[in-house]
Amino acid sequence: MTAQKMEFKTEVKQLLDLMIHSLYSHKEIFLRELISNASDAIDKARYEALTNGNILEGDGDWKIRITADKSAGTLTVSDNGIGMTKDEIVQALGTIAHSGTKEFLTMLKEKDMKDNPELIGQFGVGFYSSFMIADKVTVITRKAGKDGQGVRWESTADGSFTIEDAEKNTKGTEVILHLKDDDKKYLEEWEIRSVVRKYSDYIEHPVVMDIEREEDSTIDKGKKVKTTTEETLNSRKAIWLRNKSEVTDEEYAEFYKHISHDFTAPLKTIHFKAEGTSEFTALLYLPSKAPFNILYKDYKLGPVLYVKRVQIMDNCEELIPPYLRFVKGVVDSSDLPLNVSREILQANKQVEIIKKNITKQVLDTLRTLKDNEYDKYLGFYKEFGRIVKEGIHFDFSRKEQIADLLLFPSTKTGRDTFTTLQKYIEGMKDGQEDIYYITGATYEEALKSPYLEAFNEKDYEVLIMLDEVDDIIMSSLEYKGKKLKSAGRGDIKLDKAEEKEREQAKKKYEKIIDLMKEQLKEDVKDVRLSSRLKDSACCLVADEGDLDPHMEKILKAMGQEVPAQKRILEINPAHPLFGAMNALFEKDGKSPLLHEYTQMLFDQAALLEGSKPKDPAAFARSVAKLMVENAQRVAS
């Protein structure tokens, strides 16, 4: 068969381009990535042998081999792992399978990547990093267990690759890098040794290289002979099984990069051993930066699962609740069976115990971080706070513990400082019963809301919630016996004394209110006097149990069907406008002006809410008419 030429998908071309231009000062990591891939491939082959009872040739002698050929200028990384079929390699090395890739790459392009290697690191560096040091890469691979054919893949990163059948006698993969002239140093033994030590020391499988030496001949005295010995370059110690005191921060960080494909060091490392009802060791990490696809459905969550040092699964989602899905790491259990399957995991008691234990450790670590290293915590919270919050909705038993981790700006903190629910409660005024919040797209927008008028007058603090999920999550929260209430929803009663006045006003204005209700019955659920307004004449509020107005807007913007929800029009009885309208009403209940002003009142309320008047042209006409009348009156 002759070689078949195929085009890379656009995303691959873009990624290659970015990688070559942004990571050039971190070239050596290509070797870490290839060794990682080789190690994963061996884990897969071993797991296959273990679970399906497949006897694979070379079992037990798992190895990653590095070969430097100075005369050919090539560096080869080979493994005896799972290998790939033709279809698999076309898919694996010709496309990128994450959703959100396009958006992410566009975002990267807009930023100056040269100063931001960690951004592309967020994406996962991977196989393509080979092209930083090689102008041509050849991959020869054969799938384990197939008696079939080897495949040869080759590319010069010019937008395409070739694929053809190839001879390969053993299973596994060889990646042959044809080094660029400037990068020939990676053929030197000492360079390879130092890069492997630095980045891949903890890899469980041996990374070997044939080392040639000249030695004194034992037969022919005075003569030198060449000897070749296979040396293992990595210490192979499973890092999570070592004592905490023996592992350096750098070693922890390198291991994190291996399992997470992240480029940046982790924010925090959690390493512990559990004994008793369940025996396991966990090495977990809180990343510094959120992976670009953490909010997508196909984001893979969960630590790598080992059973007695044997890797069983890449992402074991049964071990961690989704609201902690940013946690990366390794869990090594002594209790689970080696041939554990997904079905067993889902119903296993040990798994449940491990999950509980991990959840507790992570939440405790976050709590300590918040209390003792607030700046670091703030960094964490900005990346992952939105995700932790989901726990309030989904983890009933730890609601309050999670609520204690939340940070919010408030009407009293300023935009960039934060308070907590605990601090909020400590600052509550006498007579204040609930915790109040308002949602908005920005701090400034929320702060300007008319819903806050009465709260400001009473000097009540109101939490400002800017995350899309906030309203759904917070409205169901009760913290230390206090309810969280949206300032923009339901009937707010802040002051008992004022209630009496309101009752009186209600009676006084009953008739005009009825008239307004009748006129606006298509548009609003109710018209009532307000307790939340102090300066504004009117506002629209959501009924108790309805969607928060901000949330409704977000859902609509996302193209979701939102059932038509009528608002309640609240009127400020203390505002002179209302007094004037009532006077007009008492004089002539049928005046057409009343009709026009009622409509204008409703339109104003819509504007205050950030919506449009129902008929903007009619509204503009009415305003213009009023201006003309007023100007003529002043001028005459």
> Which residues of this chain interact with ligand ADP, rule CB under 6 A?
33, 37-38, 41, 79, 81-84, 92-93, 124, 126-128, 173, 261
38 versus 447: smaller Cβ distance to ligand ADP: 38
Task: Give the shortest CB-261-to-ligand ADP separation in angstroms.
Answer: 5
Task: Give the shortest CB-126-to-ligand ADP separation in angstroms.
Answer: 3
Task: Give the shortest CB-334-to-ligand ADP separation in angstroms.
Answer: 28
- For 54, residues 6+ apart whose C-beta sits below 8 A from its C-beta are 48, 144, 145
Task: Give the shortest CB-94-to-ligand ADP separation in angstroms.
Answer: 10
- The candidate with the shortest Cα–Cα distance to 411, out of 484, 461, 481, 448, is 461
Give the containing element (helix H, strand E) for 121: helix 117-123
Instruction: Name the amino acid, one letter, at 450.
Output: P
Distance, in Å, from the CA atom of 50 to the CA atom of 313, rounded to the nearest integer, reads 12
128 versus 436: smaller Cβ distance to ligand ADP: 128
Distance, in Å, from the CA atom of 629 to the CA atom of 636, rounded to the nearest integer, reads 11
SS (H, E, C) 518-571: HHCCCCEEEEEECCCCCCCCEEEEECCCCCCHHHHHHHHHCCCCCCCCCEEEEE
Task: Give the shortest CB-172-to-ligand ADP separation in angstroms.
Answer: 7
29 versus 533: smaller Cβ distance to ligand ADP: 29
66 versus 516: smaller Cβ distance to ligand ADP: 66
Token pair of 627, please? 């201006």
130 versus 598: smaller Cβ distance to ligand ADP: 130
33 versus 262: smaller Cβ distance to ligand ADP: 33
b/e burial code for range 489-505 (CB count within 10 A of at least 16 → b)? beebebeeeeeeeeeeb
- For 292, residues 6+ apart whose C-beta sits below 8 A from its C-beta are 100, 104, 107, 122, 123
Task: Give the shortest CB-245-to-ligand ADP separation in angstroms.
Answer: 32
Task: Give the shortest CB-143-to-ligand ADP separation in angstroms.
Answer: 9
Cβ(232)–Cβ(219) below 8 Å: no
Strand partners, 309: none
Token pair of 77, please? 């990384």
Distance, in Å, from the CA atom of 289 to the CA atom of 298, rounded to the nearest integer, reads 18
41 versus 492: smaller Cβ distance to ligand ADP: 41
- Rg (alpha carbons) of the chain, rounded to whole number: 33
CA 469 vs CA 441, 476, 555: distances in Å: 12, 12, 11
Q: How many CB atoms lie within 10 A of CB 256?
A: 25
82 versus 108: smaller Cβ distance to ligand ADP: 82
With tokens 């998908």, the residue in question is 9
Tell me the HSE value of 257 on the side-chain side, using a 13 A CA sphere: 22
84 versus 207: smaller Cβ distance to ligand ADP: 84
82 versus 105: smaller Cβ distance to ligand ADP: 82
With tokens 């009663």, the residue in question is 493
Distance, in Å, from the CA atom of 346 to the CA atom of 341, rounded to the nearest integer, reads 9
Q: In what order do the strands lie in the sheet with 538-541?
A: 524-529, 567-571, 538-541
Token pair of 353, please? 């115990």
Task: Give the shortest CB-8-to-ligand ADP separation in angstroms.
Answer: 12
Phi and psi (nearest 5°) for 371? -75, -35
SS (H, E, C) 430-496: CCCCCEEEEECCCHHHHHCCHHHHHHHHCCCCCEEECCCCHHHHHCCCEECCEEEEECCECCCCCCH
285 versus 619: smaller Cβ distance to ligand ADP: 285
Task: Give the shortest CB-124-to-ligand ADP separation in angstroms.
Answer: 5
294 versus 474: smaller Cβ distance to ligand ADP: 294
128 versus 437: smaller Cβ distance to ligand ADP: 128
Task: Give the shortest CB-546-to-ligand ADP separation in angstroms.
Answer: 45
- The candidate with the shortest Cα–Cα distance to 63, out of 164, 157, 174, is 174
Task: Give the shortest CB-179-to-ligand ADP separation in angstroms.
Answer: 19
Task: Give the shortest CB-298-to-ligand ADP separation in angstroms.
Answer: 13
Task: Give the shortest CB-313-to-ligand ADP separation in angstroms.
Answer: 15
Task: Give the shortest CB-81-to-ligand ADP separation in angstroms.
Answer: 5
Task: Give the shortest CB-608-to-ligand ADP separation in angstroms.
Answer: 50
123 versus 597: smaller Cβ distance to ligand ADP: 123
- Give the residue nearest to ligand ADP (CB): 126
* Burial grade of 284 (CB within 10 A; 0-12, 13-18, 19 or more): buried
16 versus 286: smaller Cβ distance to ligand ADP: 16
With tokens 């929260």, the residue in question is 477
- The candidate with the shortest Cα–Cα distance to 320, out of 370, 363, 374, is 363
DSSP letter, residue 133: T
